[in-house]
Structure formats: structure tokens, C-alpha cells
Amino acid sequence: METPVAATRPGSGQHPALRPSIMAKLDILTYPDPRLHKVAKPVEVVDDRIRQLVKDMAETMYEAPGIGLAATQVDVHERVVVIDVSETRDALQVFINPEIIWASDNRKVWEEGCLSVPEVYDRVERPDRVKVRALNEKGESFELDADDILAVCIQHEMDHLMGKVFVEYLSPLKLNRIKQKLQKRVRSRM
């Protein structure tokens, strides 16, 4: 998910927890790239390759700036998500092989944006609370109860892992307008 400008963190553009290692900023796929519709496969083992992917994804997310990023968005089709919804941008959360094990019946409408759908924001209705089970970057299993923006972000990023982009919740008319706008933007850069 893209973060509003007011929520971006000031400073060097690099998250303090990530400074010690070598990282690479990754390219983010842009809708309607068909690779965004690939379903991610479970991570078989949390090893150094996955930990490096997490670091690279976090750097990419913070520099974008965004509040969440799924591996699918950087053309890696494994079930890895990084999220930081904190105002101080120093509370990175890592979800490897996440699964929602409970969702509230109560639903709420949130305005969402996405790093893969630049400059597009629209309202999406989702459960207002979820419980997720995942592995952290050490391969340890955990469960997390999430509400508000964290619940929305988890659901949004997990949609990416299933090959779905938030604009696909919108009406066909809105979706068509967004596709045309983004395709026109791509053509104008050529």
C-alpha cells in the first residue's frame, strides 16, 4: 500500500534497522502488468536468501514510500510481505507464508492506494479486524491480531500474494478508467 505523504518518514530514505547490510532497491511492477496476477508459492525454508529479500523489500517500501509491500510486487512469487504502518516508520513487520485465520464480520470502508497502481486511490470495503498466522524472518511462527490500518494493509498485501490488486474490487467502469490512465502514462514515457 502506498502511504500518504504526511506519513512518510524524514531523513536519509533508509530505515535504521536495515543500515548494517548491503541492500538493493527493487523495481516495483505497475498495474496492469500480468506478473501481478501470479499466485505466490509458499516459502519452503526461511534462509539467508529470504532474509535478504525481506531487507531489500523493506528498503524498497521505505524509499517508495509505502506502508506495505508484497514480494509479488517486485516480481518474486513467494509468500513474503513487509509492513510498517507506524508514524515513525521504525516498526517493520515481516510476514512469511501469512494466512488469515480469522476475520471479523464487521466491515469498514478505507481509502487505499498501492505502489503498483501509482497515484490511484479508491475506497475498498474489508473486514475491520483480522488474525494472521505467519513466520517471521527467523522462521518462527507467530499469530497477530490486527485492526484498523494494519488489518487493511495485511489484507491488501495478502491479496497481492493471491494475484489480486485492490483496484479489482472496484466497478468495471472505474477499473477500465484506471487501466486506460496507467496505459496512457506508460505510452507517454516512451
Q: How many domains does the chain have?
A: 1
Of 78, 112, 137, 157, which one is the catalytic site residue? 157
Given a cut of 70, whether residue 173 has pLDDT beyond it is yes
Q: Which residue has the higher pLDDT, 35 or 12?
A: 35
Report phi then psi at 172, rounded to 5.
-55, -35
Question: 48: which 3 cell numbers?
Answer: 539467508
User: What CATH number is given to the structural domain containing 46?
Assistant: 3.90.45.10
Quote the cell numbers at residue 119: 497515484
Q: Is 63 among the catalytic positions?
A: no
Q: Residue 90 is part of which domain span?
A: 5-189
pLDDT of residue 185: 79
pLDDT tens by residue, 78-130? 999 999 999 999 999 999 999 999 999 999 999 999 999 999 999 999 999 99
Q: Is 70 exceeded by the pLDDT of residue 14? A: no
3-state secondary structure of 173: helix
Sheet with 93-103, side-by-side order of all strands: 68-70, 80-83, 93-103, 129-135, 141-147
- Residue 46 to residues 51, 84, 96, 141: CA-CA distances in angstroms? 7, 20, 8, 11
Percent of the chain with pLDDT over 90: 78
Question: Taking the CA atoms of the chain, what radius of gyration do you get in angstroms?
Answer: 16
Per the CB < 8 A criterion, the answer to whether 122 and 110 are in contact is no
State residue 181's pLDDT score. 85
Go through 29-38 and write b for each residue having 16 or more CB atoms within 10 A of its CB, e for each that does not: bbbbbeebeb
Q: pTM of the prediction? A: 0.84
Burial of 42 (0-12, 13-18, 19+ CB in 10 A): exposed
For the cut 90, the answer to whether the pLDDT of residue 12 exceeds it is no
pLDDT at position 60 over 80: yes
Strand-pairing partners, residue 110, are 124
The cell numbers describing 110, all together, are 478505507
1 pLDDT band, cuts 50/70/90, is low
Q: Which of 21-25, 47-51, 143-147, 159-163 has the lowest mean pLDDT?
A: 21-25
Q: Which of 10-19, 24-33, 52-61 has the lowest mean pLDDT?
A: 10-19
Alpha-carbon gap, residue 147 to 163, rounded angstroms = 23
**Of residues 167, 164, 161, the one with CA closest to residue 180:** 167
